[in-house]
């Protein structure tokens, strides 16, 4: 599936059926997370056109671009048939940890997760939050009893949203790396992000520096989580469709 993201976004915006409602009093819906399972009152509910309801727990982020989520747990809630609800056993559909920021859209009964990432792609290496991949995760296969569902799990990289570095910027990254190395500084998110961007921009040497960053630098837990996330994104980039 090779979909231009701007076209897809326009289509989804036109058919934006994501309904977020306060669900206090929605006694049939709970969020489930953890092992062993723990339940809580959800922050909101997504209602699909088929009547399927999904409970959401997590961090809700209000931005100019819309509502985003992180540390997200989504649980099957039930199927609404008129004023009745056929309840499910609170089965977890997906969990997104706090290292990812997610935008949710719905087209019919396909739930699309658009992953956002802070990357240093500004003119002076400022971090900018951009969409970097989307996953068509879920759809209803049969919309009448007995209900059947299918996980699509087809992820595509939104490579057109990532502005690659010029040769001059790659040289600046080399300079920043060498300065931090000579001063015995701890690695931070900025250095990780700069090396990642240089790597996907074609610098094999800086890709090696990225891969060996944990061997060369100390890093705190927050930076380590961001670094691991970038390594996953690097693998996605390597397997991208041209």
Pair 102, 133: CB distance under 8 Å: no
Q: Are both 229 and 173 inside the same structural domain?
A: yes
Q: Which two tokens stand for residue 49?
A: 């056109």
Q: Give me the residues of the chain with pLDDT under 70, please.
A: 1-28, 33-37, 65, 78-93, 97-98, 137-155, 241-242
What pLDDT is attached to residue 238? 86
Q: Are both 108 and 9 inside the same structural domain?
A: yes
Distance between CA atoms of 110 and 8, rounded to whole angstroms? 13
Q: Are both 189 and 227 inside the same structural domain?
A: yes
Q: Are both 81 and 173 inside the same structural domain?
A: no
Q: Is the pTM of this model over 0.75?
A: no
| Domain residue limits at 152 | 5-161
């Amino acid at each position: 599936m090779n979909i231009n993201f701007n076209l897809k976004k326009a289509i989804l915006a036109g058919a934006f059926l994501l309904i977020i409602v306060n669900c206090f009093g929605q006694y049939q819906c709970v969020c489930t997370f953890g092992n062993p399972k723990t339940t809580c009152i959800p922050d909101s509910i997504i209602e699909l056109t088929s009547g399927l309801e999904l409970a959401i727990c997590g961090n809700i982020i209000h931005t100019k671009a819309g509502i985003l989520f992180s540390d997200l747990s989504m649980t099957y809630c039930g199927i609404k048939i008129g004023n009745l609800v056929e309840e499910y056993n609170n089965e977890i559909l997906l969990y997104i940890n706090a290292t990812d920021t997610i935008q949710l859209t719905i087209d019919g009964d396909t739930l699309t997760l658009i992953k956002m990432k802070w990357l240093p792609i500004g003119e002076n290496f400022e971090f900018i939050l951009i969409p970097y991949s989307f996953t068509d995760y879920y759809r209803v296969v049969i919309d009448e009893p007995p209900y059947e569902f299918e996980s699509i799990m087809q992820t595509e990289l939104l490579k057109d949203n990532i502005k690659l570095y010029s040769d001059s910027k790659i040289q600046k990254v080399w300079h920043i790396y060498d300065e931090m190395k000579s001063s015995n500084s701890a690695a931070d998110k900025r250095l990780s992000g700069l090396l990642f961007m240089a790597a996907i921009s074609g610098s094999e040497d800086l890709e090696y520096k990225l891969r060996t960053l944990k061997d060369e630098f100390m890093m705190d837990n927050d930076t380590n989580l961001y670094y691991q996330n970038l390594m996953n994104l690097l693998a996605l980039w390597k397997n991208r469709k041209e």
